[in-house]
């Protein structure tokens, strides 16, 4: 809960910084970034709620669990696709600067985010439709331990998700790999603003690390069930370690990549934090 409060505090201050300054609304890179921040905040809040529920109540109504799990799955699937979009935006800015303003517009960025949401929503929706077609409706009126594998069980759902995750994670990985290689070539040939090229290249490299951490969300859960079967007395501890590895650690990277490394955003973010701190502690403004 403490980590959730700290991360949500950081994310809230970043969203506040973005909303306060309208010039951020005109740059696709910051729109993509704030979409990632909001997505991370929602995902972390939902997953934290699910884990708290598993400790406190153990079982909850299946319909409530269904809503929580579906939104959690949606936000989990959104993360790699947003990373790919951010990498492509940096690729356009560095490798095709003359056409960047025509190709990377605010309208197209918003359409891309909408498309990512639709693609990501297709996964939990198909899970729900398959479950409704193959399971009795009484399932959604019962109380269950809230877990995706328990609510949406079945070999067909497992295989569908396995194929989809393999295809779209491969697509995201090759997108990041391609954009990074292109930026390396541009950096070697650059004779002008080499610093900005290196920064963009390093940003994409950090996106690759972020993607690898995000892939834990697809790998670790499949290892979780066998471990719980082997050590049923440590089921909650295993789920907690899974929670830290899959959801907590990757969430720290988003603020670092843009919040700390981006000079423009960092400048206004620190200013926003200082103004907020003065509002919380007004006594610091009293002149003696």
> Do 176 and 257 contact (CB within 8 A), yes or no?
no
Q: If DSSP codes are grouped into helix, strand and coil, which group holds residue 244?
A: helix
What is the spatial distance between Cα 70 and Cα 76, in angstroms, rounded to a whole number?
10
**pLDDT score at 220:** 67
Instruction: Report the distance separating Cα 32 and Cα 145, nearest Å.
Output: 35
* 3-state secondary structure (DSSP) of residue 61: strand
Distances (CA, A) of 133 to 144, 148, 271, 281: 19, 17, 54, 57
Q: Helix or strand or coil: residue 232?
A: helix
- Please give the Cα distance from 8 to 271 (Å, whole number): 18
Looking at residue 255, its pLDDT comes to 66
Q: pLDDT tens for residues 5-30?
A: 888 888 899 999 999 999 999 999 89
Q: Is the pLDDT of residue 288 over 50?
A: no
Beta bridge partners of 60: 144
pLDDT value at residue 194 = 63
Listed residue (101, 100, 85, 96) closest to 31, CA to CA: 85
CB-based contact 39:82 (threshold 8 Å): yes
Rounded Cα distance between 36 and 109, Å, is 13
Domains for the chain: give ranges and CATH numbers.
Answer: 2-131+139-273 (1.20.1070.10)
User: What is the arithmetic mean of pLDDT over 189-216?
Assistant: 70
Q: How confident is the model at residue 280 (pLDDT cuts 50, 70, 90)?
A: low
pLDDT of residue 109: 93
Residue 285 has pLDDT above 60, yes or no: no
pLDDT computed for residue 112 by the predictor: 94
**192 touches 103 (CB < 8 A):** no
pLDDT category at 191 given cuts 50, 70, 90 is low
Residue 40's closest CA among 88, 7, 62, 17?
Answer: 7
Each residue's pLDDT tens digit, 49-107: 887 877 787 888 888 889 988 998 898 888 888 888 888 888 888 888 888 888 889 99
CA distance 30 to 126: 32
Per the listing, tokens 């505090």 go with: 9
Please report which confidence band the pLDDT of residue 213 belongs to, taking 50, 70 and 90 as the band edges.
confident
pLDDT digits (tens, 9 = 90+) for 222-275: 677 677 778 888 877 787 777 777 777 777 666 666 667 778 888 888 888 888
pLDDT at 138 over 50: yes
The per-residue pLDDT of the chain, averaged, comes to: 81
pLDDT (0 to 100) of residue 278: 77
**Helix ranges restricted to H, 96-193:** 97-103, 106-134, 148-151, 155-189
Rounded Cα–Cα distance for residues 37 and 7 (Å)? 10
Q: Does position 215 have pLDDT exceeding 60, yes or no?
A: yes
């Amino acid at each position: 809960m403490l980590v959730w409060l700290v991360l949500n505090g950081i994310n809230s201050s970043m969203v506040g910084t973005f909303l306060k300054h309208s010039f951020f609304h005109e740059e696709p890179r910051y729109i993509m970034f704030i979409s990632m921040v909001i997505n991370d905040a929602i995902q972390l809040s939902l997953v934290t709620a699910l884990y708290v529920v598993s400790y406190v109540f153990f079982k909850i109504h299946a319909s409530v669990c269904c809503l929580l799990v579906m939104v959690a799955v949606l936000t989990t699937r959104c993360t790699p696709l947003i990373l790919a979009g951010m990498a492509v935006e940096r690729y356009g800015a560095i490798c095709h600067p003359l056409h960047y303003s025509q190709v990377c517009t605010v309208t197209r960025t918003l359409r891309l985010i909408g498309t990512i949401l639709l693609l990501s929503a297709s996964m939990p929706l198909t899970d729900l439709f398959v479950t409704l077609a193959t399971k009795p409706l009484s399932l959604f009126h019962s109380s269950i331990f809230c877990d995706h594998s328990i609510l949406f069980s079945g070999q067909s759902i497992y295989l569908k998700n396995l194929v989809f995750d393999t295809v779209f994670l491969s697509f995201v990985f090759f997108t990041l790999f391609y954009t990074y290689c292109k930026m390396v070539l541009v950096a070697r040939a650059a004779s002008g603003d080499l610093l900005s090229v290196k920064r963009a290249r390093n940003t994409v490299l950090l996106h690759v690390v972020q993607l690898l951490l995000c892939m834990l969300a697809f790998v670790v859960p499949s290892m979780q069930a066998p471990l719980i079967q082997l050590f049923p007395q440590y089921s909650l501890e295993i789920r907690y370690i899974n929670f830290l590895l899959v959801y907590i650690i990757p969430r720290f990277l988003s603020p670092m990549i843009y919040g700390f490394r981006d000079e423009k955003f960092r400048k206004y973010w620190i200013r926003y934090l200082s103004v907020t701190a003065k509002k919380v502690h007004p006594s610091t403004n009293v002149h003696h």
